[in-house]
């Protein structure tokens, strides 16, 4: 496994927002994509609390290398993403590491909502509601990818406990307004985000809200 991230872990993570080289607020329900270079830190801020942020990572050099939820869970031996979690690719490389997390834990098992899943779970009246899968398609098209490139994602700030029978439950989020997660890139990555539009379960507190993304470059800070 690529251990190149190890050399960056001594970097200070008390980041000053004024020193961000990129700062953007993703509106409620919308997609976003950006490039985070090796050694840079991506910060995702839950501005109002309880907002799921569906997130994927792809290698900028070769987008066939992408985040693997299965390998990430296996490598750390735990089902949730939090401080210290190394985000592993489908070929076993470390793509990034979570270096700060004020919320506590983040899901990487429940996947992204889709129009089809909404219909099955919540009824045919939800069939035409916008969903994360559609957001990902929009975001990834800018990098020449299609819906075939969507893989199981991270759901930052989404609370998905595993019940005693092994089933996943989607319940009220625990993130507070201003909670954030910092992700240190171990390679040049494309990040694709769907600021989740789901209103049929409590992953967004039934009220999708904006989130903020910032990129910091310690080399120029």
Task: Give the pLDDT band (50/70/90) at residue 186.
Answer: very high
Q: Provide CB contacts within 8 A for 98, sequence distance 6+.
A: 81, 82, 83, 84, 85, 87, 181, 182, 183, 184
Percent of the chain past pLDDT 70, that is, above it, reads: 90
- Give the whole-angstrom CA distance, residue 87 versus residue 71: 8
pTM greater than 0.85 (yes/no): yes
Tokens 């690529």 belong to 2
Q: For the residues 14-24, what does the mean pLDDT come to?
A: 93
- Give the whole-angstrom CA distance, residue 103 versus residue 129: 28
Q: Return the higher-pLDDT residue of 96 and 173.
A: 96
- Give the whole-angstrom CA distance, residue 60 versus residue 213: 19
DSSP 3-state assignment of 88?
A: strand
């Amino acid at each position: 496994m690529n251990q190149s991230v190890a050399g960056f872990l001594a970097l200070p993570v008390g980041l000053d927002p004024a020193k961000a080289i990129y700062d953007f607020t993703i509106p409620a329900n919308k997609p976003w994509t950006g490039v985070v270079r090796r050694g840079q830190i991506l910060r995702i801020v839950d501005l109002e609390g309880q907002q799921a942020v569906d997130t994927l990572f792809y290698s900028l050099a070769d987008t066939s290398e992408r985040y693997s939820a299965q390998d990430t869970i296996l490598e750390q031996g735990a089902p949730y993403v939090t401080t210290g979690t190394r985000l592993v690719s489908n070929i076993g490389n470390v793509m990034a590491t979570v270096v700060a997390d004020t919320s506590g834990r983040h899901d990487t098992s429940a996947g992204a909502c889709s129009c089809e899943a909404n219909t099955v779970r919540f009824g045919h009246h939800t069939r035409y509601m916008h969903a994360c899968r559609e957001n990902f398609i929009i975001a990834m098209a800018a990098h020449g990818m299609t819906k075939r490139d969507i893989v199981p994602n991270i759901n930052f700030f989404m609370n998905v406990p595993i019940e005693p029978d092994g089933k996943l439950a989607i319940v009220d989020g625990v993130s507070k307004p201003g909670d954030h997660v910092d992700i240190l890139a171990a390679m040049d990555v494309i990040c694709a985000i769907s600021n989740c539009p789901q209103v049929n379960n409590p992953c967004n507190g039934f009220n999708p809200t904006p989130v903020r993304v910032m990129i910091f470059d310690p080399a120029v800070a």
